[in-house]
Amino acid sequence: MGNGNINYCHEENEVRTLIWDRASLKLIDQRKLPFKEEYVVCNTCREVAGAISDMVVRGAPAIGVTAGYGVALASLEFSGHGRDKFISYIKDSIKVLSKTRPTAVNLFWVLGRMEKVLDCSKNLKLDEIKINLAKEAEKIERQDLNINFKIGENGKKIFDRYKNKIKILTHCNAGALATSGYGTAIGAIRSLDREGKIEKVIVDETRPYLQGARLTSWELYKEKIPFHIITDNMAGYFMSKGEIDAVIVGADRISLNGDTANKIGTLGLSIMAKYYSIPFYIAAPISTIDTSIESGKYIPIEQRGENEVREVMGTKIIPEYMPVKNPAFDVTPCGNITAIITEKGVIEPPFKENIKKIVTSADNTDKETGADKR
Ligand code: MRU
């Protein structure tokens, strides 16, 4: 593992987040987990956009990969004539997809890649462009899986110096369900577990959407990694008792200075971790770094519907006449982050300088090898 040229593949019996069959995209319905393992079938780009907005699929890399297939589906469903009409149809579809969720930058990164394929296809026949769009989406999915294995390997190395088994707290779901497979933060945890280094994973339930309680725990249970679930307000207690050796979470967008947007509640965890001198790691692909923004204050934060707060799994707990708010993400300042684990290596402070270096070297390697940024 760790060799840039190795191609990883899905493991036997792995439950797949998304399945593309070149005519439709099947998504495991994450709204129903862990109680039901059902797939939603998307035959059109609009259905894909709906599935992203409605959280059938969620998690920054998975949203990006799904959107890539959304563009591929748009090209297949085009029944008009003429390349200009085709191109404007695809561009409109990209616009629709770009409106689904604002915070995870992977969505925009993938849509940019798909648009580039379109822009480079000026001299091709429509059928050839359609094939190229599907190929690009498939490549993005493959690359994402490879990246996650590498993040896992790099994450594992951080803990080489720990003699004993470790207790890791994670928030939200940054696992296979949030990616093409394996996961980022959960990828690191999987790699550590395979070396026998995990004593326990402490899973934050992650209100309001319960990605921790419903999704992360489901993945860990399936993989037989020891864990227990806590409500979000218990994390400080476990930290104060020495029950947490490190925190590892994923990211939706990282600005140039290292400020990191992730699921609401991550900021509070980082503050508590700093207070108790517990290392706080972000695990994310390079494509989650948005070098166009200097700091976290420019990251758009999605405000989601009130019902997610008013209800728990469809049961009302807050009456309509009581006001609620539902920001889906918060920004952890770079000063609270120990390091960012990426597929290209571990980025330590000073983040701005080191992020620039790793992003530039990633760009150069890709130019040399002819590969894309991932
Ligand atoms: O609202 P969600 O479920 O899409 O939020 C997901 C997260 O915040 C994840 O931690 C993040 O996307 C990283 S996933 C590898």
33 lines ligand 1 (CB under 6 A): no
Q: What is the pLDDT of residue 363?
A: 76
The CATH number of the domain where 351 resides is what?
A: 3.40.50.10470
Query: For the segment 172-197, what is each residue's pLDDT rounded down to a tens digit?
Result: 999 999 999 999 999 999 999 999 99
Residue 374: inside a domain, yes or no?
no
Does some domain include residue 157? yes
What's the pTM? 0.95
Alpha helix positions (H), 159-254: 185-194, 217-222, 235-240
Same domain, yes or no, for 142 and 187?
Answer: no
Same domain for 209 and 108: no
Does the beta carbon of 250 sit less than 6 angstroms from any atom of ligand 1?
A: yes
Question: Are 310 and 352 in a shared domain?
Answer: yes
Active site residues: 252
At 180 the three-state DSSP class reads coil
pLDDT the model gives residue 6? 62
Per DSSP, what are the bridge partners of residue 203?
A: 170, 229
Q: Is the CB of 178 under 6 A from ligand 1?
A: yes
| Span from the CA of 320 to the centroid of ligand 1 (angstroms) | 28
Cα→Cα distances 145→22, 37, 150, 212, 285, Å: 19, 21, 9, 21, 11
272 in the same domain as 179: yes
User: Do 224 and 79 reside in the same domain of the chain?
Assistant: no
Q: Which secondary structure element, helix H or strand E, spans residue 153, and what is its range?
A: helix 126-158
Q: Which domain holds residue 303?
A: 151-369
The pLDDT value recorded for residue 123 is: 87
| pLDDT at residue 2 greater than cutoff 50 | no
Based on the fold, state whether residues 58 and 165 are members of the same structural domain: no
Q: Give tens-digit pLDDT for 111-162.
A: 999 999 999 988 899 999 999 999 999 999 999 999 999 999 999 999 988 9
Has residue 11 been placed in a domain? no
369 versus 263: the higher-pLDDT residue is 263
130 and 169 share one domain: no
Do 162 and 300 fall within a single domain? yes
- Total number of domains in the chain: 2
321 shares a domain with 179:
yes
